[in-house]
Amino acid sequence: LLSQMGPDALLTMILRKHPSQRSAEDLEVIYEELLHVKAVAHLSTSVRKELAAVLVFETHGKAGTVLFSQGDKGNSWYIIWKGSVNVITHGKGLVAKLREGEDFGQLALLNDAPRAATIILREDNCHFLRVDKQDYIRILKDVEANTVRLEEHGHTVLVLEKSTTDSTDQGGAGGSSKYTVMSGTPEKILEHLLEKVKLDTNGNDTIDSCVGDFLLTHKIFMASSQLCPALVLYVTNARCRDLNPSRTYHAQPPKGSELEKADYSLAARQKVVKLLGQWVLLYGRLLKDDPVALDFLEVSSHHLKWNCLKGAIYGELSCLPLLIMSRVSVVFFTLVLYEISRPDNIPITLMLPVNTSVQEVLSAVVKPGADYVLVKMNSMGGGFHDARPLKEQQGPEQGTADALEQMCSKDVASQLTHYDWELFTAMHEVELIYYVFGRSKFPGATTANLQRFVRRFNEVQYWVATEVCLCQDLMKRAALLKKFVKIASVLKEQRNLNSFFAVMFGLSNSAVQRLYKTWEVSGRGVLGGAGVCVMDPSRNHRAYRLAVAKLSPPYIPFMPLLLKDMTFIHEGNKNYKDKLVNFEKMVSQTKLFVHHKCGSCTKLINFNVKALVSFASDIKCISIFCSG
């Protein structure tokens, strides 16, 4: 009988056998066949051989049969052996047709997420090779350089790649989430990230750290005015499905109970709420600079009924009204010098906040009720007088070495660190993004806190150099030098790397460096005590990077280097790759700064350390401990 069978019939017979019944020859026949199947042709010999031993043959007779529906739990991966299928997603309908040799159903397995699309047979009598989840994971887990590309209407919309970093880096999903978004259309990336949110009735929902990366960088590729409607669409599409499944596409209604369908819609809403919660926590008061987002959050808090969902999602959004109500800007206003000329030509100088209004300046100068008129106003210099600097602008003429001598290095360092934390906390991570990508591209965006912090670096640096140079007495100067070295080493201990570098740079200032006698008196090796080795810039600041890698957060990083790294990534990588958002770039940007707060922590909602700090604004120093 066997000898009379054609090759196809023979193969089909072998495939129909239960995997455990297949002989060595059978496996050889299947293996040979797999060489011609597009979906597996690129895999190594050993992987194909393993697949041959577990493939299950599955046939379906009728066109229109729903193989599985979007939102279902995923149990298997399919290769189309004969026939073709339609890929249908909520809201978009038919997005792709898959033919013989192509595969589908891997996404749900890889990400441990619900099915991202519905699969419907396009023709009668379709044959599939099915690999069940456990086998798929076991066999394909270690396959290198695995890329998943999803298409819609013939265009790639999402590219995922197995990440090379270890799984703990991937945020909440832990070991199961090994595939990361490399690029995609903004909508599809969003959809994918939402699908991956895992809801847990115990309140242990995990949200991929990529969601935070997405939210921090969304303005680069998806303005809030696009993001908000996309979120609405996500919820509406999920709801459409349970109202009338056949309305969105012509097919038999998907399997599954009514309860499951309602669950699906509720889950979609909860996921969006979860994302909104993350958005609020992440941006906090900065949302006030984003009217579109603010309106949306206010309106959707009503529509999504998150009050009723609150129980399920452990009141995360209860902080929303609080955040929105407290529309206090976190910018630390710097005092600047205002020069005011009066009719009698005697200039008055005043230190006032940089954002002072003309009215406020006027009332600071003249008594209430006095009859003065403002005749002219200049900014950026070019005043009424020639441009000689004013006395106030010239800096100190006397050092404070004597006072410093009285103070303990540790106290000085603690004060510096205390202030630095205040500035560092006032600065929002997104300011770094705005700064690096170009603030002018983001209307309403501020980088004031970041600039303030960077300025602080220079202030400290020049303060050190100035103090040393203003000290007239050699012995005192040598002592002062030693003191600064001591202060620097305490700053390092306090994990305030920014000021550590600032003090050390101050001491490396050429005006200080050339004080040969002073250096001789304080001892040549004095700098060694402060751990100068981390300042060695060779091999791209390797020493610093190694030292920082050992530090447990929170710590204050050396800002100029952080900005340099971010700029380097920005300039070396395009924002778009083949018209798709280069999401890999966005993630690598945020990775650079996110860990300063709480690196290894995945449970603690990824970025809300800042939010915590800004809530408890009277708490000056906060330590965060993560288990594990």
Residues that bind ligand CMP (CB under 6 A): 74, 87, 89, 95-96, 104-108, 115-117, 119, 150-152, 157
Compute the least distance from the CB of residue 125 to ligand CMP, in Å: 21
Compute the least distance from the CB of residue 627 to ligand CMP, in Å: 33
Distance between first and last Cα of the chain: 64
Interatomic CA distance for residues 158 and 351, integer angstroms: 54
Compute the least distance from the CB of residue 133 to ligand CMP, in Å: 10
Q: Please tell me the total number of residues recorded for the chain in this structure.
A: 628
Q: Which long-range contacts (CB under 8 A, 24 or more apart) does 590-594 make?
A: 590/212, 590/213, 590/216, 590/217, 590/429, 590/433, 591/213, 592/562, 592/565, 592/566, 593/429, 593/432, 593/557, 593/562, 593/566, 594/209, 594/212, 594/429
Compute the least distance from the CB of residue 217 to ligand CMP, in Å: 22
- Residues 6+ away with beta carbon under 8 Å from 487: 409, 412, 413, 416, 503
- Cβ–Cβ under 8 Å, residues 109 and 68: no
Compute the least distance from the CB of residue 183 to ligand CMP, in Å: 14
| Strands 155-162, 147-152: pairing kind | antiparallel
CB closer to ligand CMP, 260 vs 289 = 260
Compute the least distance from the CB of residue 194 to ligand CMP, in Å: 13
Q: For CA atoms 190, 192, 198, 204, give the dihedral sign.
A: negative
CB closer to ligand CMP, 107 vs 488 = 107
CB closer to ligand CMP, 96 vs 131 = 96
Compute the least distance from the CB of residue 155 to ligand CMP, in Å: 10
CB closer to ligand CMP, 119 vs 609 = 119
Interatomic CA distance for residues 379 and 525, integer angstroms: 48
Structure-token match 């192509």, residue found: 102
Q: For CA atoms 492, 497, 502, 504, give the dihedral sign.
A: positive
CB closer to ligand CMP, 107 vs 413 = 107
Tokens for 221?
Answer: 């590729």
Per-residue b/e over 566-589, b at no fewer than 16 CB within 10 Å? beebbeeeeeebeebbbbbbbbbb
CB closer to ligand CMP, 108 vs 159 = 108
Other C-beta atoms lying within 10 Å of the C-beta of residue 441: 10
Compute the least distance from the CB of residue 236 to ligand CMP, in Å: 18
CB closer to ligand CMP, 87 vs 481 = 87
CB closer to ligand CMP, 100 vs 151 = 151
Instruction: List, in sequence order, every residue forming a beta bridge with 352; answer none if it has no partner.
Output: 336
Compute the least distance from the CB of residue 94 to ligand CMP, in Å: 10
Interatomic CA distance for residues 129 and 140, integer angstroms: 15
CB closer to ligand CMP, 105 vs 172 = 105
Compute the least distance from the CB of residue 100 to ligand CMP, in Å: 15
Tokens for 136?
Answer: 């798929």
Compute the least distance from the CB of residue 434 to ligand CMP, in Å: 32
CB closer to ligand CMP, 117 vs 450 = 117
**Cis amide linkage into residue 229, ω under 30° from 0:** no
Interatomic CA distance for residues 586 and 211, integer angstroms: 11
Interatomic CA distance for residues 292 and 227, integer angstroms: 10
CB closer to ligand CMP, 256 vs 315 = 256
Tokens for 495?
Answer: 């994990």
Other C-beta atoms lying within 10 Å of the C-beta of residue 340: 18
CB closer to ligand CMP, 48 vs 92 = 92
Compute the least distance from the CB of residue 148 to ligand CMP, in Å: 7
Tokens for 92?
Answer: 């978009």
Compute the least distance from the CB of residue 310 to ligand CMP, in Å: 30
| C-alpha count within 13 angstroms, C-beta hemisphere, residue 224 | 19
CB closer to ligand CMP, 116 vs 323 = 116
Helix (H) or strand (E) holding 62: none
Structure-token match 């199961």, residue found: 176
CB closer to ligand CMP, 105 vs 245 = 105
Q: Where are the alpha helices (DSSP H) in 333-473?
A: 358-365, 401-406, 409-426, 429-437, 448-470
Compute the least distance from the CB of residue 157 to ligand CMP, in Å: 6
* Residue 342 amino acid letter: R
